[in-house]
Amino acid sequence: MNHYINNFYKNQAFFYKAFLFILTAVMVVYLMPKGGKFKYEITKGKPWQYENLYAPFDFAILKTNEEIVKEKDQIIANHIPYFNYNEEIVEKVKLNAAEQISVVFSDSIINRRGRVISEFVATALDGLYENGVLQEQTRLAEDHLVYLKKGNIADEITYGKIFLQEEIPDYLTTNINRSNLTSLRPELLELFYNSIEPNVIYDSSFTQKELDSKLNSISYTRGSIERGTIIISRGEILEGQKLNVLNSLKQEYESQIWSESSYNWILFGYSLLVSMALLMLLLFIRKYRRDIYENNVKITFIFFNILLMVFLTTLVVNFEPRYVYIVPLSILPLTLKAFFDSRLGLFSHVITVLILGFVVPNSYEYMFLQIIAGIVTILTVSELYKRANLFISVGQITFIYIVVYFAITVIQEGNVQDLDMEMFLTFILGGLATLFVQPLIYIYEKLFGLVSDMSLLELSDTNSKLLKELSEKAPGTFHHSLNVANLAEASANEIGANAMLVRVGALYHDIGKMENPTYFSENQTTSVNSHDELSPKESAEIIIGHVIKGIEIAKKNNLPDRVIDFIRTHHGTSTVYFFYMKEKEQNETAVAANFRYPGPIPFSRETALLMMCDSVEAASKSLKEPTTAKIDDFVEKIINKQMDEGQFLNSNITFKEIQLIKKILKQKLKNIFHLRVEYPE
């Protein structure tokens, strides 16, 4: 039992990766569509390159989206709205008008012309309320047909036959003039204004209900294909009816309700493909990015980002496939490049796009477009911490999307009239969404404890709390760190290393000297040397201790591990040679191990580079009357000694790169000492 437990603890990193691999694969497969995948690629305008295709089962021919939209628009345009006619209001108005006669007209007028007035009012109201008075005007033409509902009967009339309230004065004036009642016009108008009420109202709910009923009755198919019927022959062009029938077959095939056995086989197939893709990514990281492979947090981060992109894409596809390009897939290579490198970013992007090819419609177009966009992302984005660079890169990515979409559409349609302008909008929105990468990187840094160039830029600020404390407590060390940072940055640019990371590492590599600043020569301002009162061994312990103290201070101030690595390794396993030789003068049995830094030795190009720059800059202070020859010999001697001691064995740095670093250091030191070329006499 103990044997198995020991094996588990010994291989827990491997078991974690296996668990992460399986979990990611399962979740990706869960998000994928569960229908079958049509095995033929359908590209409009291209010849059919497969064998003759016969219908495998009976299926209906689907109408195109354009045909359905056109049919719906026609139904909406021809739909007749409904208006409700209220007869109770009419009876109320007539009674009220009859009462108003005695109120508005004097008794003498009523006695003389009462019968004429009553007949006129009744006739005018009958004409006015024949089709009713509309309460609210709707946006319809006068000749537009409408249904006027009177009880359970709906009469079809033109909209212009219903009186609008603003038309009533003209109607009354015309009738008064025609009936020779002009002398009584003011009284009659007052009577009507006091009595008339609108009695027709637009029935929006019933109208919408009828419209929905008609829209729902639209047939989405036209005709059918029987099993065994030839659909398309080899070499025929995919267009018109042939293309429509093929798309109908594809949709029917992918929407079939599969038997339990078939469904399980589909799941098994998806699982194999997804697992294969993720395994290729894992093997790539294991072979070419061993440091990332051995860090489970980084592996988790990579798999999480792939899963996030798959989740967002499937979410959009399930909602509306047309908007699939709104998903900012270029964020994936951007993010991985910010934390790792371009090669890993592009490889992960390609793997993700291959997986999404089984999720999105028109998979070939999607994969081609997204891979091109990913390549452009990797090639254009540099120094992500500079906001202008990000905006320029996003603009370039969006432009590439538009150009590739334009090219594909022209190939398929053979003209530019069928370009979908809405697609250009989705590309622009996707580009704008890509700008979210900066806050996303910040979130990732907090969640996964990673560090990007943006964080390094913040740490390189010499006004930060820790560097200010260093400049106050150990000004000589601070000045030394600045010089080392400049040398290291120039050298890193020469060999293509991470210049920002090296600069930050150089600024913080000696923060441990804040504990005992006067024990380091660069901080001694008087002729009194603090080491005079100590034994060589005690002095060496203080000198060596600044590495451990630096690590403690860095962790206390939450510096990233990538920066702390420079503190750990900037002396490697070298010996404090001055005090070792001093001890040896006093005691011939002195042990060199007591005067050696604990290490580890540098394990990257950047940490190795800092060791060289730190040693050269510190030792350069001891040069007396420096000349070009002295500096060249001096740099060669220091770096060659480090090579002889095996300090760079784990740093993956080449002899050529070391030579380039030597060249830069010699040049920079000559500039520092203001040396000129020695002219012959």
C-alpha 244/C-alpha 239 separation (Å) is 8
Q: Which residues contact 285 (CB under 8 A, 6 or more apart)?
A: 292, 293, 299, 302, 344
C-alpha 375/C-alpha 397 separation (Å) is 9
Q: Please answer whether residues 236 and 52 qualify as being in contact, where contact means their C-beta atoms are separated by less than 8 angstroms.
A: no
Tokens for 231? 């659909």
Burial of 139 (0-12, 13-18, 19+ CB in 10 A): exposed
pLDDT of residue 254: 64
| 77 alpha carbon, distance to own chain's centre | 41
Burial of 482 (0-12, 13-18, 19+ CB in 10 A): middle
Q: What are phi and psi of 479, to 5 degrees?
A: -65, -40
Q: Which amino acid is at 257?
A: I
In terms of DSSP bridges, do strands 59-62 and 133-134 run parallel, antiparallel, or are they unpaired? Answer: unpaired
Prior bond to 475 cis, omega within 30? no
C-alpha 595/C-alpha 578 separation (Å) is 10
Q: Crossing angle of helices 65-78/204-216, nearest 10°?
A: 150
pLDDT of residue 487: 92
pLDDT of residue 342: 86
Q: Please answer whether residues 543 and 519 qualify as being in contact, where contact means their C-beta atoms are separated by less than 8 angstroms.
A: yes
Question: For 628, what's the count of Cα atoms within 13 Å in the CB-facing half-sphere?
Answer: 7
| Three-state DSSP state, 572 | coil
C-alpha 503/C-alpha 108 separation (Å) is 111
- Ordered alpha helix ranges (H), 320-420: 331-339, 342-356, 363-380, 387-413
Burial of 388 (0-12, 13-18, 19+ CB in 10 A): exposed
Neighbours of 230 (CB within 10 A): 10
Q: Write out pLDDT tens, residues 174-191.
A: 888 888 888 888 888 888
pLDDT of residue 260: 61
| 199 alpha carbon, distance to own chain's centre | 57
Residues of the chain whose pLDDT is less than 70?
1-10, 34-41, 45, 253-261, 381-387, 413, 418, 527-529, 532, 589, 674-681
Q: Please answer whether residues 154 and 148 qualify as being in contact, where contact means their C-beta atoms are separated by less than 8 angstroms.
A: yes
C-alpha 478/C-alpha 470 separation (Å) is 6
What predicted TM-score, i.e. pTM, was given to this entire model?
A: 0.65
Q: Write out pLDDT tens, residues 186-245.
A: 888 888 888 889 989 988 888 899 899 988 888 877 777 777 778 777 777 777 777 777
Domains of the chain: 2-27+31-35+260-437 (no CATH), 82-202 (no CATH), 453-672 (1.10.3210)
